[in-house]
Amino acid sequence: MPKAKILVIDDEPLMREFIEEAMSRAGYRVVSSGSGAEGVELIRTQSFDLIITDMKMEPVDGLEVLRESIKVSSETPVIMMTAYATIDTAIETLKAGAVDYLIKPFTPEAIEIAVKRALDKVKINAENKYLRSELNAYLGPPEIIGKSKVMQELHEKISRIADSRSTVLIRGETGVGKELVARTIHLLSPRREKTFIKVNCAALSSGILESELFGHERGAFTGAYEKKIGRFELANGGSLLLDEISEIHIDLQPKLLRALQEREIERVGGTETISVDVRIIATSNRNLEEAIAKHSFREDLFYRLNVITIYVPPLRERKEDIPELANYFLKRFSRENGRNVESITKKAMEYFMNYDWPGNVRELQNIIERAVVLAGDKKVLCIEDFEFLKMKNHFDSNLSHIQPGVTLADIEKNLILKTLEHCGGNKTKSAEVLGISVRTLRNKLHEYGIIKPQKNRMERIPK
């Protein structure tokens, strides 16, 4: 992996040459400047990983260089040097934003240590920023729950492949827990102490995704005001999850293929080749073979990804796991929401067992969270607490029998009237089941000629 690019600014030629030689010998790429003004111009026109500047220079001193650097790229660390050290100047420098403060003269070892510490801090800050966002977004359970035969086989396969370096392709429907499987593979691998980085390929446009994966240099495109470290670099030494890989645009796939084959990347707008040691884990809920046939996914990329394949079964294929999953989510959401719900009735659980769960584990998780939040002081959830699920199942079944030629307006009207009938005419409950506001429901009923507005309230039209 190429070393960082460092800017050295000092108006003393001997000191400048000393630092330049020390940094070059350590493997860094060095650009040097003999004045603060020239250094500021370089900062404005080039991208640097680190800046080392002298404090006392005229007419532009080190503090002005520091302020300009922060203005141009707040992520770039600045190390300040001076031969006139006082406690006050050190405090002033650090408060202004410098990451370190060196007193002249110093040894090559001292500046090497300072530089390494500053660059490590940049990487750690970038990782922490990413991980904080991931931690806030991640809501999955801490373990893969289920003792069915298919889940036992899944556990066994994960255990066998976790300690390898091979690329893993996880396939399965939406909501089955593919990301959870990916995280488990990472946690069981020798890379567990390193970073697990995720990128959702379906949520980003091709241009943004390229920058997210590979990073970019400052000025690479409009809006690229600072250099960005991509997910491949952040995951160096660890694992990178490419979630919903089938959604990557065909134009970006060659660059991804090269990264997988060569373990090398280039930032957008950059020319340096960066080596990365990353284990790739990819997920897909689409049939990749069909995507290849439709020319929306490269066959060579598929073969590069399809080294080890794991299939995560849908919930309908492991219904014996439903009670354990349901009780896990019940306890979790009861605790998180300050409720005292303790159990689910046998009748409700039987309904769960007979439902097909098109949304898989995620759907089960969501309906239990909803029921727990709405439970109030109840300690037991019964079938009535899952009325919206019963309605959904009923209408999903009816929709499958709709004949061609029926308009969307007719389907909508039938759905609203059936829901109203099922809820005994209760508009508030009907609106909740339908996922719309009561006002929207009333407007629809008025549109159908069933109720009319009168004196700021809605009344049924006499037959």
Q: What gap in Å lies between CA 197 and CA 213, rounded to an integer?
A: 10
One pLDDT digit (tens) per residue for the chain, 463 residues? 457 899 999 999 999 999 999 999 999 999 999 999 999 999 998 889 999 999 989 899 999 999 999 988 888 999 999 887 677 777 778 888 888 888 888 999 999 999 999 988 888 877 776 665 555 444 443 468 888 999 999 999 999 999 999 999 999 999 999 999 999 999 899 998 889 999 999 888 888 999 999 998 888 887 777 888 899 999 999 999 999 999 999 999 999 999 999 999 999 988 888 999 999 999 999 999 999 999 999 999 999 999 999 999 999 999 999 999 999 999 999 999 999 999 999 999 998 998 888 889 998 998 999 899 988 888 999 888 887 665 555 555 555 555 666 677 777 888 888 888 777 788 887 877 776 778 888 888 888 887 655 444 444 433 3
For the chain, which domains are there?
5-122 (3.40.50.2300), 149-313 (3.40.50.300), 316-399 (1.10.8.60), 408-460 (1.10.10.60)
Backbone angles phi, psi at 241, to 5 degrees: -95, 120
What pLDDT does residue 456 have?
A: 44
Nearest CA among 116, 117, 60, 57 for reference residue 83: 57
78: left (phi over 0), alpha (psi -120 to 50) or beta: beta
CA angle at 220 for the pair 216 and 224, rounded to the nearest 5°: 75
The two structure tokens encoding residue 48: 């640097």
What pLDDT does residue 306 have?
A: 93
DSSP letter string over 166-209?
--EEEE--TTS-HHHHHHHHHHTSTTTTS-EEEEETTSS-HHHH
Residue 230: Cβ within 10 Å count: 25
The two structure tokens encoding residue 143: 């373990």
The two structure tokens encoding residue 461: 């039209």
Question: 175 Cβ partners below 8 Å, 6+ apart?
Answer: 359, 360, 361, 362, 363
98 CB-contact burial (10 Å; exposed 0-12 / middle 13-18 / buried 19+): buried
What pLDDT does residue 138 have?
A: 47
Residue 402 near residue 411 (C-beta atoms within 8 A): yes
The SS3 of residue 274 is: strand
List helix spans (H) across 97-161. 108-137, 149-161
In angstroms, what CA-CA distances link 26 with 2, 54, 376, 439?
Answer: 12, 20, 64, 69
The two structure tokens encoding residue 74: 């707040």
